[in-house]
């Protein structure tokens, strides 16, 4: 965020997005997707 290559508008959007993220929801979504991948990999 300290980079001069990133515009103030982009920094604001990223900050706003960061504020809405919930680590518990993110983990649940990741586990769900990983389980789908594992199911495909280990399907008999």
What's the pLDDT at 38? 95
pTM, entire model: 0.58
What's the pLDDT at 14? 96
Pairwise CA distance, residues 5 & 13, whole Å:
15
What's the pLDDT at 2? 87
What's the pLDDT at 44? 63
Number of C-beta neighbours around residue 11 at 10 A: 13
Domain boundaries, the chain: 8-41
**pLDDT tens readout for residues 9-44:** 999 999 999 999 999 999 999 999 999 999 999 986
What's the pLDDT at 34? 97
């Amino acid at each position: 965020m300290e980079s001069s290559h990133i515009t103030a508008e982009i920094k604001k959007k990223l900050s706003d997005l960061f504020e809405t993220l919930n680590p518990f929801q993110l983990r649940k979504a990741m586990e769900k997707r990983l389980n789908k991948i594992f199911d495909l990999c280990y399907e008999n």
